Structure 1
């Protein structure tokens, strides 16, 4: 998904723990098999193209009718509106949720388990995407999109120095030094925050959360996370990281004029770069994400959302059928690709015409071939915690200072871990030492 105020990723079995400790229930109030007849439901979301996809569904499914209502994106009010509606007992059946937000909704009992209707479609989706909506034996919705990562690089800059796309992070460092030495005003990369940084950790199996018995385990300061942090801190020390914040006008300018030569990012970054750095047209290309060890084949993820079934939905079977259709129908998903730039979580849709064409901006490269290869290689074991709004805010504060040379990335992770643990305890959740 394109960059939104709240980014997307995956969730795992820790939600079950959160539900138990929070004492919440996510069961619904009825089912379509009990009511019979024509089913109708409401769907809240914000992604461009959803309204048109719903119209297509209603046209082809006369026995199930969906009313789409657009809400503000996630942190701009959509999530709070949805939670308020659930608590008031007047929520819609379906809502768009970023993967990283799903644990907090589940912990508050705002979601309904639809495993009995959804499990048969599990094989249609990439493992990491499916695990983002499934918790132990519970399933809370259907995955929509994913954010497999790759290396966007300025081919013109690389070619001018006889450089190839780096296959390992060591080679990435070498390329950084070579590029900056050739022109001190050119940099290899720029600062990463929140879920963009999480994707770097994700690739390295540097998890942030887990479950230890009956407790949450917070692992932002783990040895594996220190490895990732120390690597990027080393690039800061070498002076090869641009000071332009991602998504700032200075960042787009750097991408356009070649002074920022790479972006390690998710598939949706293609649209961001094309839209914001038009002067770079024809200069950029895409290669697989560099690996920690030669011969490895691991990919990070930054992005993704689900169509979730909310507590109180009286037609959970029909709601799940609609959600599955939205994520797997080629016509509907083509609309979402065209209008929202989404990349499918469904295995069968990576061959859509929109995702197989040559892209003039990227020199005629069929860039989505790189992401189609990467998507199945995203680690399916990543877990998000139940207080990600605070965790990401605290981490961004520390990372921003570290990238600017005040403090370290390792220190930012340690401070964020301490603050996250304190918040979990404040909320009455058990935390493993």
Structure 2
């Protein structure tokens, strides 16, 4: 399936990404003076320091780190354009949701032989996010299990019990509105990747590989259950309707008109950095569960991917594994980028036990460490996520302004995704 997946789509799937002319940067020579030299493109905070730590202790394999724009802000286009020209860096930071699109562009190379002895250093589900059909095209760096961020002061003052299930969350939403008619428990999920986390938790996949074909299931019964839940809260006026990542939402978190956020681990820094006035008032609890099913969703995470142009894939993979597992490197990434490490060794890092002042001294990363073991394992991203996410995002925006429903958003994304796969030469399972 992999060869057909790659070859059938190379010419069409990345036409837009490769429309940029010329080469926007390339890899430096990978063998010089008896040393292996590897170029690494990325943008996350702290990556440069981890590279420095490696270079000091590995004189025969030197990594040159080059900071590029965030993937969605042009970084991915830069990498793909270089891959088209045959001058991609050896390593590149690639989000899990985007990695299948890089595979469709034939921009990565299989590194199974170099990671086979290290697979047990990461949870199996994480490896599923760095490849297709059991193959690996990079090394996981971090994950993003979801949790319930909430205004502890407001819940306690109103005497509202912390919800442990989604049924209890609905009851708490009504209680919040009753306690303060101007307040809402949460903003409606309108970002497609955040919304994916709720589907993920309910084991409602969007994509699956079936032999030589891709299956698309955004309109499945399990997905409709998630849509129906959020539609019900919205219909009762129990959610706020601010745009995702908007200053108005941040103000609502700060002034107490939105009391909670069910989001990934990195929401901790999002809330901290944009709602400073409510410092000390927030706490974190496990994500509400669907009934008695003890699973959580994931919304984010990235890999250190090995590109097709890398002439030293063994050494590149050795570095990538080190960056994700070495105690000093992981401590650096936790401190600089507030990541939750993907590796089992990283999850034991004591930096995750530190109290977080913004959250009243609660060591919140201990909770996310525990929750990471409960992430549902069946999720797989697809090769046309730019289409899927854009269409779903448009539909969720219509939910926010009252001109559409969650189910309509899913149906539109299902059709657009299926059409895009067919247009780009993929076989789509019926």
TM-score (norm 2): 0.92
- 1:381-420 alignment to 2 at 5 Å? 381-420=378-417
Partner of 1:219: 217
Write the distance in 2 (CA, Å) between the matches of 1:20 and 1:78.
24
Residue 36 of structure 1: how far off its partner (Å): 11
| Greater than 6 Å deviation, 4+ residue runs | none
Is this contact kept in 2: 1:358–1:366, CA < 8 A?
Answer: yes
Write the distance in 1 (CA, Å) between the matches of 2:412 and 2:174.
30
> Runs of 5+ in structure 1 lacking a partner?
1-13, 25-33
Deviations 1:77-98 (A, max 9, x none): 1111111111111111100000
- 1:10-25 alignment to 2 at 5 Å? 18-19=5-6, 21-22=8-9
Write the distance in 1 (CA, Å) between the matches of 2:428 and 2:219.
15
2:257 corresponds to which of 256, 259, 266: 259
Write the distance in 2 (CA, Å) between the matches of 1:390 and 1:423.
7
Write the distance in 1 (CA, Å) between the matches of 2:399 and 2:43.
34
Write the distance in 1 (CA, Å) between the matches of 2:291 and 2:8.
40
1:232 corresponds to which of 230, 243, 248: 230
Whether 2:112 is the aligned partner of 1:115: answer: yes
Instruction: Give the SS at the match of 1:91.
Output: coil
Instruction: Give the SS at the match of 1:306.
Output: strand
Partner of 2:246: 248
Partner of 2:161: 164
Instruction: Give the SS at the match of 1:120.
Output: coil
Structure 2 CA distance for partners of 1:16 and 1:218, relative to 1, 3 Å: farther
Whether 2:347 is the aligned partner of 1:350: answer: yes
How many residue pairs get aligned? The number is 412
Residue 175 of structure 1: how far off its partner (Å): 0.2
Whether 2:123 is the aligned partner of 1:126: answer: yes
Partner of 2:203: 205
Is this contact kept in 2: 1:300–1:378, CA < 8 A?
Answer: yes
Residue 416 of structure 1: how far off its partner (Å): 1.0
Residue 431 of structure 1: how far off its partner (Å): 1.2
Residue 261 of structure 1: how far off its partner (Å): 0.8
Structure 2 CA distance for partners of 1:180 and 1:133, relative to 1, 3 Å: same
Write the distance in 1 (CA, Å) between the matches of 2:262 and 2:195.
10
- 1:48-197 alignment to 2 at 5 Å? 48-192=45-189, 193-197=191-195
Write the distance in 2 (CA, Å) between the matches of 1:396 and 1:222.
18
Partner of 1:374: 371
Structure 2 CA distance for partners of 1:417 and 1:36, relative to 1, 3 Å: farther
Residue 53 of structure 1: how far off its partner (Å): 1.0
Residue 137 of structure 1: how far off its partner (Å): 4.2
Residue 15 of structure 1: how far off its partner (Å): 5.9
Write the distance in 2 (CA, Å) between the matches of 1:103 and 1:271.
28
> Runs of 5+ in structure 2 lacking a partner?
12-30
Instruction: Give the SS at the match of 1:416.
Output: helix
Write the distance in 2 (CA, Å) between the matches of 1:428 and 1:268.
36
Instruction: Give the SS at the match of 2:117.
Output: helix
Structure 2 CA distance for partners of 1:23 and 1:365, relative to 1, 3 Å: closer
Partner of 1:287: 285
1:317 corresponds to which of 314, 319, 323: 314
Residue 160 of structure 1: how far off its partner (Å): 1.3
Is this contact kept in 2: 1:93–1:316, CA < 8 A?
Answer: yes
* RMSD, matched Cα: 1.9
Whether 2:329 is the aligned partner of 1:332: answer: yes
**Higher RCO (CA < 8 A, seq sep 6+):** 1
